[in-house]
Amino acid sequence: MGRRTGFALLVLLLIGVGALRAEDSVDSSTTETVRVFPDNPLPGNTLQIVTRNQVAVRFEEHDFPSFPIATGEWRALVPLSALMHPREYPLEVLSGPNTWTIPLRVAPRRFGLQRISLSAGRAALEATPTEEEAIGSALRTLSPEQFWQLPFRRPSGGRISSGFGLRRTYNGVLEQNYYHRGYDFAAPQGAGVIAPAAGRVVLVGTTQRGFRLHGNTLVLDHGQGVTSIYIHLSRILVRRGEMVKAGQRIALVGSSGRATGAHLHWGIYAHGVAIDPADWLAGRICCRASGNSSAAAAESAS
């Protein structure tokens, strides 16, 4: 694969000179330690920016918040789309009047091409505005708590039949701006689907309510901008607003919506952008092996 496992730390001690304010007259410079994981980011990775203080991270014209993960440790998650071009990008760390710019080199990554044949009727199926809006907003859910613990579990016991990032042709026509936003698990109709990590149910969508393309759909909010989606389900076993535990059975595999057969499509998102589940299944997310560190940090501060 050519990918390095584990993380070498990229530690940057940044000195920013902010706008001089009255209370800063003694020392107008501020230091911040910024650690960026992984050290050799690829399209699809979840970028993690760890700082000593609360900051915002600006990347590709989007601002990403940081959340406390331990005493004196804050983390922002920045999704790298599978469609990113390999080159150097400016990553800006914003803290009060200070802005630090870090050059971030995104290395090239190859994704496969998958050819899919659908009957004319199925190929013509489009997402309804109802499902697009509901799914889009559910996947952008932002809760300050961290519900998850690493590593994420596989939601299905089936083998992975389609990996993350694949480009697709439908009946010979390449889908533009498309990449496979998750994993497909080969599993029979009615097989169980479990929650890969703790979270809150933020969307239950059904074919009857207009989820024509995705079929019966479930979205979990794992907190701090991380969500996961389950589509083409035959049954959903949880209700909107419910908290689920890691390993809890949440749904049954099906072939509802535009599916070529019974399977589970599962995706993980950070701030609404699909990222490679491999980082989460392998626990390659800095910096704690267990969750609820934000709660621990809040406690120790009080």
> H-helix or E-strand containing 17?
strand 10-17
Binders of Zn ion among 81-110, rule CB under 5 A?
none
CB-wise, 94 or 160, nearer to Zn ion?
A: 160
Name which of 58 and 265 has its Cβ closer to Zn ion.
265
DSSP output for 81-100: -TTPPSEEEEEEEEETTEEE
Starting at the earlier edge strand, list the strands of the sheet with 192-194.
Answer: 192-194, 249-252, 235-236
# residues contacting Zn ion (CB under 5 A): 2
Listed in sequence order, the DSSP H helices in the chain are: 120-123, 129-139, 277-281, 293-301
The token pair at 300 is: 């120790």
Q: Are strands 199-205 and 216-223 parallel, antiparallel or unpaired?
A: antiparallel
Chain centroid, CA 209 distance in Å: 26
Closest separation in Å from C-beta 182 to Zn ion = 6
What is the Cα–Cα distance from 95 to 105, expressed in whole angstroms? Answer: 22
Q: What SS3 state is found at 40?
A: coil
The answer to whether the beta carbons of residues 49 and 78 sit under 8 Å apart is yes
For the window 250-269, what string marks contact with Zn ion as x by the rule CB under 5 A? ---------------x----
3-state secondary structure at position 16 = strand
- For Zn ion, the closer of residues 265 and 284 by Cβ is 265
Q: Residue 158 Cβ, how far from Zn ion at the closest point, in Å?
A: 12
Shortest Cβ 162–Zn ion spacing (Å): 6
Taking CB under 5 A as the rule, which mask of x and - marks residues 36-75 in contact with Zn ion? ----------------------------------------
Per-residue interface string for the shown chain with Zn ion, residues 211-250, x marking contact by CB under 5 A: ----------------------------------------
Cβ proximity to Zn ion: between 229 and 270 the closer is: 229
Draw the binding track, 122-151, toward Zn ion (x: CB under 5 A; -: no contact).
------------------------------
The reply on whether position 184 binds Zn ion by CB under 5 A is: yes
In the complex, the residues that contact Zn ion under the rule CB under 5 A are: 184, 265
